[in-house]
C-alpha cells in the first residue's frame, strides 16, 4: 500500500470518526435544543398571533433518536383546541457535523443538525393533500449551527384546488429563505410568489375574482433591548386585479409596502410607506397614490408592556371562547393606564407625512402631524384632557383642480360619453362648481390651481390659513361654515370668487 493511499485512507477514517463522534454528540444535545427552540417559538407566537385575532402554539409530539439521524413529530395549533386549525409535521433530523443532504448540496461547513420537515395529512388539511395528489404541499429544511443559529427554506408547492362548489384556488407556489441567529435575536426572510388566483362567491351572492401576480418580500428584524423587533420589511406586488359582481375591474400595479423601525436610545421610531404605482378602473387609468406614516419618541418599554398586556388578554378571551376584549378588570385598567401614561410622558409624535393622489394633470396632497404629552390628570373634563394631551397639531391640504377635472373626465368616459369636447366642458364646469362650494365655506382658499387649507395648533392657539384665533373661535368658524355649506347644497347658488384668494403667509 502506497504512502499516498495510506494518508487518504487515514483521512477517511478520521472524518468517519469525527462524524460518528459528532453525530453521537448531536444525539445527546438534540432533546434540549428542540425543547429550547419550541419554547422560543411559543413565546413569539404568544406575542404575534393576537395581532391576527387568534392564538397559536407548537409542541413536540414524539422524538425517535438514532446515532446518525432522528425523527421528530410536531403539532401546531392555530385557535383553541377542538375549534381551530391543527397542523402536524414530520421532521427527519440528520445529525452533524456533516449531514448527507448538505454534502449532496456541496454545503461543506459543519453544522449540529440538518432538519428536513414536511406537513403531514390530517383532517384540517386533507383537501390540500388531495389537491396535491397525496404529496405534502408544504416542505422545508433548516440547518442548525453549533452556535444555535439557523438557516433554511420553506416551500408551499403549486396548487389547483376546488375549495367548494363555487370557489376555486389557483396558486403558483411560494418560496421563502429564512435565517435566524441564536435565540432568534435577528430574523431575516426573503420570499417570492408568481401568482395567486381566487374565484369565489361573496356573502351577498356576487361573483368575486381576485388575481395577484409577482409578489416578493424581504424582511430583516432584530430584537431590541426592550424585546420588540425592529428593522426593515419590504413587500411588493406587481399587479392586483379585483372584480366584484357586474362592477368593472379594479387594477393596481407596482404596489409596495415598506416598513422601517429602529431603536433610538430608549425609544422606538420608524416609518411605513404604501405605494400604488398605477390605479385603473375598467381599464381606464386614474393615477398613482402614496401614503407615508412616521412615528417618533415611542417609549420601547411601555410599548412592549402594552403588546404583552393585549397579547395575554386576547389569549384569555380566546381560551374562554369569547369574542372581543370585553370589560377590563380594575387591575387591567390600571396596568393599561400606567403603560399609556409612560408612553405619553415621552411626548410621542405621529404623522401622516403624505397622502397623495396623482393623475395626468394634477396631484392632491394631505398631511397631518401630531405631538402628544401626558395631561395633568385623567380626571379632567374630556375637552381639557384633549387640550393637554395634544401639544401640537399641523394640517396641510392641497386639492388640485386639474386632478378633480381628470377624475370627472374618467367618470364621464365610464358612463359611456365619447365626445371629448363635451367631456372637457363637463369636467371644467363640475370642477369650478365644486371648488366654488368649498371656497364659499371660508375654510379653504385658492392658491394658483390648488385649493389650500393650513392649520397649526400649539399652546391652546390656532393659526388657520394665516389667521390666529382661539380654539373656541376656530370651532365657531367650522360650525358656521358647515351650516353655510349645507345651505348651498340645499339649493342655494354657491358664491364663485372673482379672483384668487391667496393664503396669508
249-261 per-position pLDDT tens digit: 999 999 999 999 9
Single out the residue of 383, 303, 378 nearest to residue 334, CA to CA. Answer: 378
Is 434 within the bounds of a domain?
Answer: yes
Distance CA 391, CA 149 (A): 46
Are 281 and 248 within 8 A, CB to CB?
A: yes
Instruction: Note down the domain range covering 396.
Output: 351-486
Residue 492 within a domain: no
Which residues make Cβ contacts (< 8 Å) with residue 297, sequence separation at least 6? 267, 269, 346, 347, 348, 349
Neighbours of 3 (CB within 10 A): 7
230: which DSSP letter? E
Asked whether residue 346 is assigned to any structural domain, the reply reads no
pLDDT digits (tens, 9 = 90+) for 208-249: 999 999 999 999 999 888 888 899 999 999 999 999 998 889
Q: How many domains is the chain built from?
A: 1
Angle, nearest 10°, between helix axes 420-440 and 401-414?
130
| pLDDT at position 177 over 60 | yes
Instruction: Return the C-alpha cell found at 144.
Output: 442548525
Residue 480 lies in a domain: yes
SS3 375: coil
How large is the average pLDDT for residues 195-203? 92
The H-assigned helical ranges of 277-370 are 300-319, 330-345
Does a structural domain hold residue 482? yes
Q: Tell me the whole-structure pTM to 2 decimals.
A: 0.82
pLDDT score at 374? 93
Residue 319 burial (C-beta neighbours within 10 Å; 0-12, 13-18, 19+):
exposed
Other CB atoms within a 10 A radius of the CB of residue 112 amount to 23
**How confident is the model over 428-478, as pLDDT tens digits?**
898 999 888 888 888 899 999 999 999 999 988 999 998 999 988 888 888
Among the residue ranges 75-89, 115-129, 228-242, 398-412, the one predicted with the least confidence is 75-89
∠ CA(322), CA(328), CA(330), 5° rounding? 150
Cβ-proximal residues to 389 (8 Å cutoff; 6+ apart), any chain: 344, 372, 373, 374, 375
**Separation of alpha carbons 18 and 142, rounded Å:** 22
Integer-rounded Cα radius of gyration of the chain: 30
Which cell is 304 given?
412592549
Q: Which three cell numbers stand for residue 221?
A: 428584524
Closest Cα partner for 316 from 300, 302, 332?
332
pLDDT band at residue 485 under the 50/70/90 scheme: low
pLDDT band at 263 (very low <50, low <70, confident <90, very high): very high
Q: What is the rounded CA–CA span in Å between residue 84 and residue 148?
A: 32
150 φψ region: left (φ > 0), alpha (ψ -120 to 50), beta (else): beta
SS3 for 361?
A: coil
Q: Which helix (H) or strand (E) holds 155?
A: strand 150-156
- Please, are residues 115 and 93 in contact by the beta-carbon 8 Å criterion? yes
Residue 416 lies in a domain: yes
**Type and span of the H or E element at 270:** strand 267-281
In angstroms, the CA 129 to CA 137 distance is 7
Distance CA 285, CA 159 (A): 33
356 domain-assigned: yes
Contact criterion met (CB below 8 Å) for 343 and 302: yes
Is 319 in contact with 326 (CB distance < 8 Å)? no
- Number of Cβ atoms within 10 Å of the Cβ of 267: 20
Residue 98 lies in a domain: no
Amino acid at each position: 500500500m502506497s504512502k499516498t493511499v495510506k494518508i487518504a485512507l487515514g483521512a477517511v477514517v478520521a472524518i468517519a470518526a469525527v462524524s460518528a463522534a459528532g453525530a453521537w454528540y448531536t444525539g445527546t444535545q438534540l432533546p434540549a435544543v428542540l425543547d429550547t427552540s419550541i419554547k422560543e417559538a411559543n413565546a413569539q407566537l404568544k406575542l404575534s398571533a393576537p395581532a391576527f385575532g387568534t392564538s397559536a402554539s407548537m409542541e413536540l409530539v414524539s422524538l425517535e433518536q438514532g446515532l446518525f439521524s432522528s425523527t421528530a413529530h410536531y403539532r401546531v395549533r392555530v385557535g383553541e383546541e377542538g375549534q381551530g386549525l391543527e397542523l402536524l409535521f414530520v421532521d427527519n433530523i440528520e445529525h452533524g457535523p456533516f449531514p448527507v443532504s448538505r454534502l449532496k448540496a456541496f454545503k461543506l461547513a459543519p453544522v449540529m443538525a440538518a432538519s428536513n420537515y414536511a406537513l403531514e395529512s390530517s383532517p384540517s388539511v386533507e383537501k390540500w393533500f388531495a389537491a396535491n395528489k397525496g404529496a405534502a404541499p408544504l416542505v422545508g429544511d433548516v440547518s442548525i449551527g453549533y452556535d444555535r443559529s439557523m438557516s433554511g427554506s420553506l416551500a408551499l408547492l403549486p396548487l389547483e384546488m376546488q375549495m367548494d362548489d363555487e370557489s376555486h384556488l389557483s396558486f403558483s407556489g411560494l418560496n421563502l429563505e429564512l435565517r435566524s441567529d441564536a435565540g432568534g435575536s435577528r430574523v431575516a426572510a426573503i420570499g417570492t410568489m408568481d401568482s395567486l388566483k381566487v374565484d369565489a362567491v361573496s356573502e351577498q351572492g356576487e361573483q368575486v375574482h381576485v388575481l395577484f401576480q409577482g409578489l416578493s418580500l424581504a424582511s430583516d428584524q432584530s430584537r431590541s433591548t426592550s424585546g420588540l423587533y425592529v428593522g426593515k420589511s419590504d413587500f411588493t406586488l406587481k399587479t392586483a386585479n379585483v372584480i366584484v359582481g357586474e362592477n368593472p375591474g379594479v387594477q393596481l400595479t407596482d404596489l409596495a409596502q415598506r416598513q422601517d423601525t429602529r431603536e433610538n436610545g430608549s425609544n422606538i421610531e420608524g416609518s411605513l410607506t404604501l405605494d400604488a404605482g398605477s390605479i385603473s378602473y375598467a381599464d381606464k387609468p386614474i393615477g398613482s397614490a402614496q401614503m407615508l406614516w412616521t412615528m417618533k419618541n415611542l417609549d420601547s418599554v411601555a410599548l412592549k408592556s402594552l403588546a404583552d398586556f393585549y397579547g395575554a388578554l386576547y389569549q384569555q378571551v380566546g381560551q374562554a371562547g369569547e369574542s372581543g376584549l370585553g370589560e377590563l378588570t380594575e387591575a387591567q385598567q390600571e396596568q393599561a393606564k400606567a403603560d399609556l401614561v409612560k408612553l405619553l410622558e415621552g411626548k410621542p409624535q405621529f404623522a401622516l407625512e403624505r397622502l397623495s393622489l396623482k393623475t395626468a394633470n394634477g396631484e392632491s396632497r394631505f398631511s397631518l402631524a401630531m405631538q402628544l404629552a401626558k395631561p395633568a390628570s385623567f380626571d379632567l373634563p374630556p375637552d381639557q384632557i384633549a387640550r393637554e394631551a395634544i401639544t401640537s397639531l399641523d394640517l396641510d391640504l392641497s386639492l388640485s383642480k386639474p386632478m378633480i377635472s381628470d377624475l370627472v373626465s374618467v367618470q364621464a368616459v365610464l358612463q359611456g360619453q365619447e365626445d371629448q369636447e363635451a367631456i372637457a366642458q363637463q369636467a371644467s364646469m363640475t370642477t369650478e362648481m365644486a371648488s366654488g362650494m368649498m371656497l364659499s365655506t371660508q375654510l379653504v382658499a385658492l392658491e394658483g390651481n390648488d385649493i389650500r387649507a393650513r392649520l397649526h395648533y400649539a399652546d391652546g392657539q390656532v393659526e388657520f390659513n394665516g389667521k390666529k384665533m382661539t380654539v373656541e373661535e376656530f370651532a365657531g368658524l367650522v360650525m358656521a361654515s358647515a351650516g353655510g355649506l349645507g345651505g348651498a347644497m340645499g339649493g342655494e347658488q354657491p358664491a364663485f370668487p372673482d379672483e384668487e384668494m391667496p393664503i396669508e403667509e
